[in-house]
Amino acid sequence: MSPSFTPARTCGFLRAAATALALSSVLLATGCDASGVGGGDAKATAAVPAGFPVTVDNCGVRTTYEEPPSRVVTIHQHPAELMLALGLKDRMVGTAFPDSAVLPELKQDFESIPELAEREPSFEKVLDAEPDLVYGGYGSAFAENEGRSRKAFADAGIDTHLNREYCGKKRVTMKDTYDEIRTIGKIFGVPDRADELVAGLRARVDKATTAVEGEPRVPVFVYDSGDKSAFTAGGKSLGTELIRLAGGENVFADLDDVFGDVSWEQVVERKPEVIAIYDYAGAGSVEEKKKHLLSQPALADVPAIRNKRFVVLPLTATLVGIRSAYAVEDLARGLHPESFR
């Protein structure tokens, strides 16, 4: 700044311009006080959003957000739905890998966002969207062997966040869902929205659990996929807790993993009364899965097969995201229909 262009003269000029243009807010941005003395440059006094900076530890990666991200790419459906439920559509510049029908109330917003790929997009495709944050649902969102490691994004100046379900925690519960929502709310500067969303989901779960309170536990077998063996949800999965909350019991809760293979003989031995079919793209339709199960002679005496008792759940509803609360309600209705008449 030259000696003749003093802070006082700067403020006087701005006052005149503000009066002429009815833009008095300009004065605030320049840091001028009532006496006409400059209080520092605009950059130094730029407003910092309330609650920022925010530091988040996520799956071993520590990130400090100086301000809310404004250009986000979500990889996998459940992060996208979570963001939309928080009213963050205007921050989203791309989605990828939709694997089931979107919640009706979010469908229009979801379809208005560019889809980058039917499955995980390439690193270059994500870069083309110029994001400042990539939010992944499964660990494969940041697959190192496909060039999408979190380090690769960091080297490109892009922050990343991975759904906490894939942080290697021993067991996933509904608390993880609520914590994930609150963390995203914190990152985007909308903690009140996050609290409101959590309260609504808790109320939905509480209503379902209250309806089936005192009812006998129904043995449930989760069928994800598989022919020679069954790929099912184990004791570390969120699905096991959803079944418990809905008044059931996962017959493979003793499987020490999120998912795993079991033999059909084991399924027969455990006599499930209901089969929960996980529905998602690329694993055969629900009708194909039912047909396969019903056509197996070895399963003929399994109570769930004999009585054709199936509950269908979108895979996204069994993951850490807003759909899990809906899954509790759907499961409860399927396991204890008499409680909802």
Give the pLDDT confidence of 139-179 residue by residue, as tens digits: 999 999 999 999 999 999 999 999 998 887 678 899 999 99
Q: What is the pLDDT of residue 32?
A: 39
Q: Do domains 54-168 and 214-340 have the same CATH topology?
A: yes
Q: What is the pLDDT of residue 220?
A: 98
Q: Which residues, given as ranges, of the chain have pLDDT below 50?
A: 1-46
Distance CA 76, CA 96 (A): 6
Placement of tokens 């005496």 in the chain = 301
CATH number for domain 54-168, candidates 3.40.50.1860, 3.50.50.60, 3.40.50.1980, 3.10.310.30: 3.40.50.1980
Q: Where are the alpha helices (DSSP H) in the chain?
A: 7-21, 25-30, 77-85, 104-111, 123-128, 150-155, 174-187, 191-211, 238-245, 264-270, 286-294, 303-306, 323-335
Annotated domain spans of the chain: 1-46, 54-168, 214-340
With a threshold of 0.85, does the pTM exceed it?
Answer: no
**8 Å CB contact between 223 and 283:** no
DSSP reduced 3-state for 259: strand
Q: What is the pLDDT of residue 47?
A: 63
**In terms of CATH, what superfamily is 214-340?**
Nitrogenase molybdenum iron protein domain (3.40.50.1980)
